[in-house]
Amino acid sequence: MTALAGEHLTDLKRAFHAPDIGHQAARPSVRAELAQLSHVLVRYHDQIATGFGVPHTQDHGVRDAARRASALINQAEQLLGPRSTTETPESVLAEKIRCVSIALGCGLDLLASHAPTTLTEPASADAPTIAATDTARSLLHQLSDHTAAVAHLAKHTGGPSSTASRPLLTAAVLSRVFGENERPPINPVPLHRTPERIPPKVGENLTEAIVGIDASIRRLQNPTTPGSIATWRYLARAAAIICDLNSKTILHLTRRMEELSEDHHIANLKQVTHSARRTSGRWKAIIRRWDTYDSFGHPAAGLATDASDLIIRLGRLIHTDAAWTPSPRASYQVKPPDQLAPATTDAARIATVALKAFEACNIIAAHHRTAINDLAVIGVLQRQQQRPTFSPRVPASIRQLLGLYEATETQGIETITALGRAIEALSTHTPSHTDEARLIIRRSTAKSATTQGALAAAGFPKPIGDCLAESRPQVQRASPAGREGNARRPSAP
């Protein structure tokens, strides 16, 4: 909910630059919504000051800062006047403020629900984390932005209410100072939403390229259009190209580590290079299998476009040609290693991009069943036309393609794990890359570790499969040729 409140706050900040912001903010409905948002901020700071009613440490001055900020915001709330009582906001600006209030209020209610409401009620397992000093510091840091935004708007309200901006700014500075931390321990969970496509453009800097790569990967992970046989055929070819580009990138990072005399990183990256080449080989085997079938039309524009964008940006990341595209006449001249990764931290950043791309390829490998099922249906229908039978079977070629995909996914997990470990070693001074690598490793290995059925049966004294096998009735079946026609049939109950 704090992430959602942050998005609404960003939308609200855009309204600050409107030419008539002074006229909009002076409306009584806006002052009432600002008073309501201030009240939510007071409640937040009061809960932080008391540790959400859970035992907590009293040091570091964080909770005292929350208490002082709460008093300042409460003073500003009184200056702004009565809170809003209308069900529907009376202006666009008032609606934006109310969206922030609702999102923050819901987040506060969720956090407070972990604390006991009575002396006999136990706290939840997550309550100590919520009451921890690091959590209080992180929350103060986030709330300072909201407090500063209210202060900025209060300054335009006119009359006595405009004086509320001073205590609000003081509270925002107080929360910001005591909320500072070198490494925030808790990050908001990003909303599960597919981003808009960011088309590649010539001359993108590294930050712009990485943002575009992340958008393409997230779109591939959460497709908005259904796949098809032609789509999965195209994605298999795209995955092979991505793996080849990643192999070239990791090899170049290995050479850069040699130039920097970082011997303890070279062995890890060489292992990743070998594993990436094996993954690429697996994808090429899938392509050869796909090439034995008809094309079945054109791939879906959404998924194919996202894969193409990813290929273009990964290629331009490693090649000198700023307008590089995958074509027979494309330039294969790569950037010098010191230009690709001037320092070890840069190498960790580039390697993390490759890690995300490998994960996207593995997701493609895991989501292939739709196309294979369609292909199996077509194969069965074709065989039925040639040789009609009462028990049609899936062609062996389909089962082989399924096996290729499963082997590719397994090999991809091996590559992801090896590269993730290498990034952990590289990014000792950049914890964000380490955290991201660990998360991707955990996410990839968890999918293949065990099935949901096995997890459900793990707590039973006896595996469910054994219990079902014991209770399954043993019924003899007649052979197709009728050689067991005289076998005794089970009697009716």
pLDDT tens-digit map of 187-204: 544 555 678 889 999 989
Counting every residue written for the chain, the total comes to: 493
Q: Percent of the chain, pLDDT > 70?
A: 78
Say if pTM beats, i.e. exceeds, 0.95.
Answer: no
Residue 413: both structure tokens together: 């997990």
Residue with tokens 């900025």: 152
For residue 255, pLDDT over 50 is answered with: yes
Q: How far apart are the first and last CA of the chain?
A: 59
Helix (H, G, I), strand (E, B) or coil at 202: coil
User: DSSP labels for 397-445?
Assistant: HHHHHHHHHHHHHHHHHHHHHHHHHHHHHHTTT-HHHHHHHHHHHHHHH
Lowest mean pLDDT segment, chosen from 148-152, 298-302, 320-324, 487-491 = 487-491
Confidence of residue 314 (pLDDT cuts 50, 70, 90): very high
Phi, psi dihedral angles at 158 (to 5 degrees): 75, 160
**pLDDT band for position 208 (cuts 50, 70, 90):** very high
**Distance in angstroms (rounded) separating the CA atoms of residues 76 and 270:** 60
Percentage of residues in the chain with pLDDT exceeding 90?
19
Q: What pLDDT is attached to residue 467? A: 45
Q: Calculate mean pLDDT across residues 118-139.
A: 70
List of residues 6+ apart from 339 with CB closer than 8 A: none
**CB atoms closer than 10 angstroms to residue 300:** 19
Whether residue 462 is predicted with pLDDT greater than 60 in this model: the reply is no
Query: pLDDT at position 309, please?
Result: 93
Nearest to 361 by CA among 220, 226, 245: 220
- Per-residue pLDDT, 163: 84
Higher pLDDT, 450 or 347: 347
